[in-house]
Each structure stands twice: as C-alpha cells, then as structure tokens.
Amino acid sequence: MYDLYSEYEPRGDQPLAIEQLVQGLNDKKRFQTLLGVTGSGKTYTMANVIAKTGRPALIMSPNKILAVQLYHEFKEFFPNNKVEFFVSYYDYYQPEAYVPTRDIYIEKNADINDILVKMRLSTLKSILTRKDVIVVSSVSAIYASGNPRDFANINLYLKKGQRYLRRDILEKLGKMQYTRKEDDFTGGTFRWKGETLEIYPVYDDHGIRITFFDDEIENIISFDIYNRTHIEDFDKITIYPAKEFVTTEDKILGAIKDIENDLDLQIQKFKKNGKLLEAQRIEQRTRQDIEFLETMGYCKGIENYSRYFDGRKPGDSPWTLLNYFEKDFLTFIDESHIAVPQIGGMYKGDYARKKNLVDFGFRLPSSLDNRPLRFDEFAQRVNQTILVSATPGRFEKEVSEQVVEQIIRPTGLLDPEVIVRATEGQIDDFVSEISKIVKRNERALAVVLTKKDAEMLSDHLNLMGIKSEYLHSELDTLERAEVVKKLRNGDIDVVVGVNLLREGLDMPEVSLVVIMDADREGFLRSETTLIQTIGRAARNVNGKVLLYADKMTPAMKISIDETNRRRKIQKTFNEENNIIPTSIIKKLPDDVFAPFKDKMTEEDYVFEVGEGMSPEDYLAVLEEEMYKAASELRYEDAAKYRDEINNVKKKYSIN
C-alpha cells in the first residue's frame, strides 16, 4: 500500500531493528521502544516499519520545528502516499483567563493561520477516506477536534447523472460552513452562476466545478483555481465541511436546552454561596451566547459548549484527532523522553486556568470539558505504539514489552570520545581546543549553566579572536535560527548556550562539544541531558566531548559508561565489516520553518503584553502563573515565568 522511496537501503543495525519492531507489532505488543542514537536513521526505520505493516500512522513530535522536519522527510519517503501535517492553527494565541488576586480578566485573543487550517482539514479528510495516510502531529493531537461522525456525515455527495434540487445543495453547503461569494475565491467558499456550481474546499489546492442541465448533473471536474484549467473528471464527488467543528441544527437546539438548565443550576449555586456578582456575570454572559446560538448557530467561545453538542457527560473526554483513525493505526512518539511528559502535563495546566473562569462566573462548568486529553485517556486511545528516543525515560522503560536498539550508524560514525578535565583553567583549555578545530574548518558548541554565563563566555571568546554567538530563551525563534545558520555557514565558530537540545542542532560541522561545570547536579546536568548533549558531536568523524568537572557525579558516570558501551559496539561492527567512518554530509536546508516561526499557539502559549493589557497587568498574570506552577511542583515552568518577569521589569523599567 505504501511506496517507500530512498537512495539507500537499510544499513548497520537498521535491518534488525526494522525486523524486530515489525515482529513486535505482529505479536500484538502494545508498547515498544526504539532506542536509536543520534544519526542512526531513526526516521528511516520508522518509514520502513510503516511501509512493511501497511497501516495508517500517527507520528507525534514534542515541538513544531521537529514536526516540520519530520513532515518533509516523510513527504520525501512517500511521494505517492498521503503525508499530512497537524498542528495548532493559531499564529497567535492568548487564552481566556482570570487572575483573582488582581481582578484581571483577559479575553481570548487569537489569529488563525489559514494554511494550517487547510492542512488540518486535509488531515481529517485523508484519515476518513484513505488507508495510506501518515500524519505528523504536535501535541495538538490530544486537543479537541470536533466529532468525527459529524465531520464524516455532514457532507455533500454528488453523482453524475443524478438530479438534485438547488435549495437542498445550498442548504447543505451552509450547514457545512461554506460561504457564498461572487469574488475572492478562497477555501470554504462557493459560487453558483447559471448552470454551474463552483466549490472551493478548504482542504484542497483546486476547485470543484459541477455543471447542471436543469436539475441533473452533466459533469464534475476539478480545476486550477488561478488558471481555470481543467485537471480531472469525476463520476462522483464528496465535499467535506469547511471547518472542524460542525454540527446539526437538531443538536444545536438540544444543546441550548441543556445550557439553559446548567445555567440555572450555576446561578442557584452562586446565590446560595452569597456570590451575587458571579451569578449576575454568568447569567449575562451565557444568555448572550444562547442568543447568538439561536440566531446564528454560532457564538464566540462556542468550543466551551462542545460537550453539549457532542452529547458527552460531565468529565467525559473530548473528541480528538485520535478518534478519526480506525483502530489499527500505529503511533510513533518521537523524542519520547520529552514528548511523554509534555502530553502528560497539558491537562493540568488547562484545568487550572479554566477553573478560575468557572469559579468566578465567566464560564459554565462545561468549559472544563473543552480540554486536552489526560495521559491515561491518551494511552487508552492510541493503539500499538513505538516510543522513539536516544534516552528513553522511566515511562518507556516501564511499559515497553520490547526495547530495540539502533546503535550502528549507516556512516560508520562512532559516538564521540568523552574526556573529563578539571574546571581550573577550563576557559583557557577550551580556547586551545577551539584553535585546533578551526584549522580543520569545524565548529564547536559550549554548554553553560546560566544565560549570563553564555553571554560572558561568548564575549570573552570574541575578544580572543574566536567568532562566537550565544543562544538562550531571550532570543526569539528567528534570531535563534539565524545563529544556527551562521554556525553552519562558518560565519561563526562557536555557539554558547544553556540548553542546546531544543534547537535541533544536529550539525555535521560540529566536532567539539564542551560542557562547563558538568558536575553541577540538576536537570541541566542529568543523565538524559548529558547523553543527549554528547550526541551533538556524533555527526562528525572527529567528534569529541569535554566535560569540565572536579568530581564524578552519578549522572556523569552513567552517561560516560553508556557512551563507551555504544562506542565499543560501533567500533566492533566497523572492524568486522571493514567500514571506515565518514562524516555526515548534510546540505543547508531551505527555510521550511517560515510559516511556523514565532508562533504562540494553544499548545505552548505564554501571555503577552497585548492590546488593552498594561505591563503591570502582564506582570500580575505572570506572577499568578509562576506561583501556580510552583504549587504544582512544575519548577521548570515556574523558573520560565520568573525569568519572563525579570525581562518585563527590565524592559519597562518597573521596580
């Protein structure tokens, strides 16, 4: 069913990994882990597993940059099959929120990206109509996506030679959220002139033209929207909705009754507890929404009433992308050591924000059910799952019925040599090492503990005549991408950062990775972080890692031992097969991330100083979120909010 195209055949231990994973799937193993080192071709292994099993596949990535890379790789592997991309469709997202300590209400503010809307709808249509579909998704896969039955059933089916009444077609297109226009033909619109109906589906690049003779369909064709040229003839066609969230008129009427009943109960509850302001607020806001639903079939924030339209009970999980797949689909979770905790943490943060809205009369309790899946719900909905990581976490180790190792790189490259040196004189020693690699036209990465350290070390290197720049969270996505580009081009020799794992820095030009103060225990020097950081030097034949430390921590010992274990296996394989290691040759990519840069979405939002929001109000919101994160033991999130508070105070000169 799948046509896998590649210049290469599986090499190293890829053939064995593919065979073991496929056999595990055939043996009905629910969870498996692919432990693949950096540069071992994990994506190609996943592609082979999909091709050999012939089943629909969902590939989840922990961030959109990696998701874009995976999407383009799978598009190249499967040019004749359907590879789809599913991420949040917001360019900008500021969620509705209320800060009780400052009595600040923040209205939802969002900009929708039409390209991403189109890609999401194309994904839903492909899953419902094809078996050879591969979906690359962010954590957006666990957020509400509308009822799949409604999306599948509320469609327009037309067949050549059949008779249809014009008013029936117009009524159906309206229910499917299509808009009639005589110009400006964008996705989700249609026009009817004389005997010709032209429909512009959101999910396709072409239009559909239906020609009638009286009420009978004579021809159905697809055509190029811009050149108006004929593309393909059809005997029948199915047009799917223009939006993810569609429902029937009967469901809307039924929902209004349920909303009114729950509104009365909430008003009574507030009054009983002496919360008269909250009672008045919820009645006014909800009555306004009901009026819009009755007259327009839509209201602002309609997603907060989705439970009523779906017929779900309080607490029931929402419909998501996972519900669109049939039961036999495969799930791959890439970089699972990051993605699994991320999936598990989405529900708690969403619930905390919405509970304030409910408690203070801004939303009915039903809004709590417009939410991401809890991790247990996610685990129930996915079918057989392969977790992919170079450093599997506790979850992977606990649930996996089989761990498949992929340690041999097709290029014969070994894991880098790891050397521990004392911290005394570490900067001078680092400078000496840099001078060696610069002569070979190679690059270096340096990892430090704080943003201030990154800036100071970068400045010091520049004073020493070594071209350097720093990377940390105060640089926006565009600036970070520019720094990476400079390093690969050779405009700079060194990048200094605090956490260089999130940047996608898999660069063959990097032969030296230096970790300052490697013995400072914490999440930035944990076993997982150290192994991942060491892997940054694994794409160059001269790869070397320096750990500057005055003691051997448990995390250091584990990471060094694991690296040496892998080196031994790789070296033995090379010797037995007469393989000479060669550096990876990787061309500089086109800027495929442009539509997704600097996007703040529903999945990874932070509050911003927006219209109608002063810096002081913004600080209040940040403080509220910081204390909330700390109370929930999410200390890393709390630290991010703390850093942002300091940035805002500095930017706006607030004491």
Burial of 525 (0-12, 13-18, 19+ CB in 10 A): buried
Residue 97: CB atoms within 10 A of its CB come to 20
412 is in an annotated binding site: no
40 is in an annotated binding site: yes
621 is in an annotated binding site: no
> Residue 85's beta-bridge partner residues?
136
- Nearest-angstrom CA–CA distance, 215 and 164: 5
Contact 307, 261 (CB under 8 A): no
Contacts of 465 (CB under 8 A, 6+ apart): none
SS3 category, 571: helix
In single-letter form, the type of residue at position 430 comes to F
Contacts of 296 (CB under 8 A, 6+ apart): none
**Cα–Cα separations (whole angstroms), residue 567 to 37, 392, 572, 595, 612:** 11, 19, 8, 39, 57
Residue 371: CB atoms within 10 A of its CB come to 20
**Cα–Cα separations (whole angstroms), residue 206 to 8, 177, 187:** 34, 18, 9
Contact 93, 601 (CB under 8 A): yes
37 is in an annotated binding site: yes
38 is in an annotated binding site: yes
Which pairing describes strands 330-334 and 384-389: parallel, antiparallel, or unpaired?
A: parallel
> Residue 469's beta-bridge partner residues?
495
286 is in an annotated binding site: no
- Nearest-angstrom CA–CA distance, 43 and 147: 31
Closest by alpha carbon to 337, among 648, 649, 540, 36?
36
Closest by alpha carbon to 541, among 508, 494, 574, 505?
508
**Cα–Cα separations (whole angstroms), residue 419 to 201, 426, 546, 556:** 58, 13, 5, 11
Contact 89, 111 (CB under 8 A): no
43 is in an annotated binding site: yes
Phi, psi of 244 (to 5 degrees): -65, -40
In single-letter form, the type of residue at position 202 comes to V
Burial of 30 (0-12, 13-18, 19+ CB in 10 A): middle
- Nearest-angstrom CA–CA distance, 305 and 365: 10
Contact 641, 620 (CB under 8 A): no
- Nearest-angstrom CA–CA distance, 70 and 431: 36
Alpha helices, DSSP H, located in 319-388: 336-359, 375-381
146 is in an annotated binding site: no
DSSP state of 64: H
- Nearest-angstrom CA–CA distance, 538 and 476: 27
Which pairing describes strands 57-60 and 330-334: parallel, antiparallel, or unpaired?
A: parallel
Q: How many Å from the N-terminal Cα to the C-terminal Cα in the chain?
A: 64
Contact 179, 188 (CB under 8 A): yes
Residue 171: CB atoms within 10 A of its CB come to 11
Binding positions for ATP are 36-43
Residues making up the binding site: 36-43
